[in-house]
C-alpha cells in the first residue's frame, strides 16, 4: 500500500501522468488475483527444500520488492517519453509499466497465498479468528509506520518537481524499504514451518489436504446458494467504497489543499491509525454487543458519512480538516472491515474453506483493481467535463460522490444477505456431494 500510494502521488502530481493511465497500470496488480488459486495448489502439492510454504513466501517477497525498485526508473523513463512526444516510446513505456505491475501482482500472490495457508496450517479453528484479527491489526500498524517513515524520509522533496532530483532520491528510498521488507519477512517466517512429511499437533499435512472435497464438488457448493452471489456483490461494493479514492487521495491533498508530498503521504498513516482503532473497537466491543450484521451496517453507514465529509472539507481547503476526516474514515473502515471479516468466516464451510475464502478474496481483489481504474478514469472524465478555474475541486468531488453512491449500494446489498439461507442451501448440497462420494 505504501508503494502504491507513493507511486500514485509521484505519477499524478509530480510527473502529471493521466489519471486513467496511473489507475489502469496499478490495477494490473489486482488483475493477477486469480493466480492465488494456482499458487495455493502449487504450494500444497510441490514442496521446495522440504517445505510447502516458506520458500514460496521468500521467493515472492524477493520478487515483488525487486519489481518495486525497478518501477522508479521505469516511470521516469516513461515521463521522458511523454516529454519527447515519441509515440513508439510512449507505447512501449506504457506496456512496460503495465507489465511490471502485472508481474508485481503475481509476485504478491506468490508470497501472500502460501502465507495465509501457513496461518491455517499452524492454527486450529479456535485459534484462527484471533490469529487473523492479530494479523490484520499488525498489517494496519505496518501501514501507519510505513506512511510515517515515508513522510519523514521524503520531507526534503517538498515542492520539488524536477525529475533529475526526484528520481535518485526515490530510487534510494525504495531500495531501502525493499531491503527492510525482505529482512522482516525472513525473520518473521524463519523456522515457522516444519519439513514436509513431519507431524506436529495442529499442523495440516499434505495427506489431510488431499482428503478434502474436490474442486468440482466445491464449485457445486459455491453455486448452490443465491446468498453467495449476494455476498460476492456486497464485498465488491464494500471494497470499492473503501478504495475508490485510493488512486486520487494524495493528489486531492496536493491540488485542492496545497499539501506537500510528505504531508500527503502521511494521510495514509492517519487513515491507518483510525482503522486500527476501528478494528479493535469493533472486535472487542461493537460486534459482541450489536452482532455482525448490525456492526457491518453501522460501518457502511459511517463510511458513507465520511465520504460526504471528504467532499465538504474540500470546500474549505483546510488541511487540518482533511486529516481529521481521514482519521474518522479510517475508524469507519476498521469497524466495517472487522464486521465484514466476521461475516466472511460465517459464510464459509470447513469442507471447502479454501475455495470459499478464495472466492471472497477474488471479490476483494477485483474491486481493488476496479477502484484503481475507475478512480483515475472518473477523475479524467470529470476534468474533461469541467474545464477552467475551480475544476480541480469539482473533479475530485465528483469521484467521491460516486464512491458514496457505491457505499449506499453496499448497504442495500447487506440488507438482502441471509446467513440462515446460506447455511441451509450449502448444507443440503454438501450432503448430496458426500452421499455421491460414498456412493
Shared domain for 309 and 184, answered yes or no, is no
Shared domain for 218 and 175, answered yes or no, is no
Question: Domain residues for 382?
Answer: 213-265+283-321+336-439
> Does 208 map to a domain?
no
Taking 90 as the threshold, does the pLDDT of residue 301 lie above it? yes
Q: From CA 35, how far away is CA 330, in angstroms rounded? A: 29
| Buried residues in 30-49 as b, exposed as e (16+ CB within 10 A) | bbbbebbbebbebbbeebee
Average pLDDT (190-205) is: 61
Number of domains in the chain: 2
Taking 90 as the threshold, does the pLDDT of residue 218 lie above it? no
Q: From CA 324, how far away is CA 267, in angstroms rounded? A: 10
User: pLDDT tens digits, residue range 231-256?
Assistant: 889 999 999 998 888 878 888 888 88
Q: From CA 412, how far away is CA 403, in angstroms rounded? A: 14
Q: From CA 46, how far away is CA 299, in angstroms rounded? A: 41
Taking 60 as the threshold, does the pLDDT of residue 202 lie above it? no
Average pLDDT (351-359) is: 61
Query: pTM above 0.75?
Result: no
Q: Where are the alpha helices (DSSP H) in 282-352?
A: 287-290, 292-316, 319-346
Shared domain for 220 and 186, answered yes or no, is no
Q: Say which residue, 75 or 143, is predicted with more confidence.
A: 75
> Does 129 map to a domain?
no
Average pLDDT (382-401) is: 78
Q: Give pLDDT, residue 311.
A: 94
Q: Say which residue, 193 or 80, is predicted with more confidence.
A: 80
Shared domain for 343 and 423, answered yes or no, is yes
Other CB atoms within 10 A of residue 273 CB: 21
We report the CATH number of the domain holding residue 399 as: 1.20.1250
Q: From CA 78, how far away is CA 94, in angstroms rounded? A: 7
Q: Give pLDDT, residue 221.
A: 66
Average pLDDT (180-208) is: 69
Shared domain for 299 and 417, answered yes or no, is yes
The rounded mean pLDDT for the chain is: 80
Taking 70 as the threshold, does the pLDDT of residue 54 lie above it? yes
> Does 140 map to a domain?
no
Give the count of alpha carbons within 13 A of 190, CB side only. Answer: 6
Q: Give pLDDT, residue 212.
A: 47
Tell me the C-alpha to C-alpha distance, in Å, between residue 421 and each of 181, 189, 365, 384.
43, 40, 26, 46
Are 57 and 184 in contact, with CB atoms under 8 Å apart? Answer: no
Taking 80 as the threshold, does the pLDDT of residue 127 lie above it? no
C-alpha cell at 179: 531491503
C-alpha cell at 45: 502439492
> Does 14 map to a domain?
yes
Taking 70 as the threshold, does the pLDDT of residue 384 lie above it? yes
SS3 126: coil
Using alpha carbons only, give the angle 276, 279, 285 rounded to the nearest 5 degrees.
130
Q: Say which residue, 1 or 16, is predicted with more confidence.
A: 16
Average pLDDT (135-155) is: 75
Q: Give pLDDT, residue 297.
A: 94
> Does 330 map to a domain?
no
Shared domain for 116 and 257, answered yes or no, is no
User: Helices (H), strands (E): how many in the chain?
Assistant: 18, 0
Q: From CA 281, how far away is CA 229, in angstroms rounded? A: 29
Amino acid at each position: 500500500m505504501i508503494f502504491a500510494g507513493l507511486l500514485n502521488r509521484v505519477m499524478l502530481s509530480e510527473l502529471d501522468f493521466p489519471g486513467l493511465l496511473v489507475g489502469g497500470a496499478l490495477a494490473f496488480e489486482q488483475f493477477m488475483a486469480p493466480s492465488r488459486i494456482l499458487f495455493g495448489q502449487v504450494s500444497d502439492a510441490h514442496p521446495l527444500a522440504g517445505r510447502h510454504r516458506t520458500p514460496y513466501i521468500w521467493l515472492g517477497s524477493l520478487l515483488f520488492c525487486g519489481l518495486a525498485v525497478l518501477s522508479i526508473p521505469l516511470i521516469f523513463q516513461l515521463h521522458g517519453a511523454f516529454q519527447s512526444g515519441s509515440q513508439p516510446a510512449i507505447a512501449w513505456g506504457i506496456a512496460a509499466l503495465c507489465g511490471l505491475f502485472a508481474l508485481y501482482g503475481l509476485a504478491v500472490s506468490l508470497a501472500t497465498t502460501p502465507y495465509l495457508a501457513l496461518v491455517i496450517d499452524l492454527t486450529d479453528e479456535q485459534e484462527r479468528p484471533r490469529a487473523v484479527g492479530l494479523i490484520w491489526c499488525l498489517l494496519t500498524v505496518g501501514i501507519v509506520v510505513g506512511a510515517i517513515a515515508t513522510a519523514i524520509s521524503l520531507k526534503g522533496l517538498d515542492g520539488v518537481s524536477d525529475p533529475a532530483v526526484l528520481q535518485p532520491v526515490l530510487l534510494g528510498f525504495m531500495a531501502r524499504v525493499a531491503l527492510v521488507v525482505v529482512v522482516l519477512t525472513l525473520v518473521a517466517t524463519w523456522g515457522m514451518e516444519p519439513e514436509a512429511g513431519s507431524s506436529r499437533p495442529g499442523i495440516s499435512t499434505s495427506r489431510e489436504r488431499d482428503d478434502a472435497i474436490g474442486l468440482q464438488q466445491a464449485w457445486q457448493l459455491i453455486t448452490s446458494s443465491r446468498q453467495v452471489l449476494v455476498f460476492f456483490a456486497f464485498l465488491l461494493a464494500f471494497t470499492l467504497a473503501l478504495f475508490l479514492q485510493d488512486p486520487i487521495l494524495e493528489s486531492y491533498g496536493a491540488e485542492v489543499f496545497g499539501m506537500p508530498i510528505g504531508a500527503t503521504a502521511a494521510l495514509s498513516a492517519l487513515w491507518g491509525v483510525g482503522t486500527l482503532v476501528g478494528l479493535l473497537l469493533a472486535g472487542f466491543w461493537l460486534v459482541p454487543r450489536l452482532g455482525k450484521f448490525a456492526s457491518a451496517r453501522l460501518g457502511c453507514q459511517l463510511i458513507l458519512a465520511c465520504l460526504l465529509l471528504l467532499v465538504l472539507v474540500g470546500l474549505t481547503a483546510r488541511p487540518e480538516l482533511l486529516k481529521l476526516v481521514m482519521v474518522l474514515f479510517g475508524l469507519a473502515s476498521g469497524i466495517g472491515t472487522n464486521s465484514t471479516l466476521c461475516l466472511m468466516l460465517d459464510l464459509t464451510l470447513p469442507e471447502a474453506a479454501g475455495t470459499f475464502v478464495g472466492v471472497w478474496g477474488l471479490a476483494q481483489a477485483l474491486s481493488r483493481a476496479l477502484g484503481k481504474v475507475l478512480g483515475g478514469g472518473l477523475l479524467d472524465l470529470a476534468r474533461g467535463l469541467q474545464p477552467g478555474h475551480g475544476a480541480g475541486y469539482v473533479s475530485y468531488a465528483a469521484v467521491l460522490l460516486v464512491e458514496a453512491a457505491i457505499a449506499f449500494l453496499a448497504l442495500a446489498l447487506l440488507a438482502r444477505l441471509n446467513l440462515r439461507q446460506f447455511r441451509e442451501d450449502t448444507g443440503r448440497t454438501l450432503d448430496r456431494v458426500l452421499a455421491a462420494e460414498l456412493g
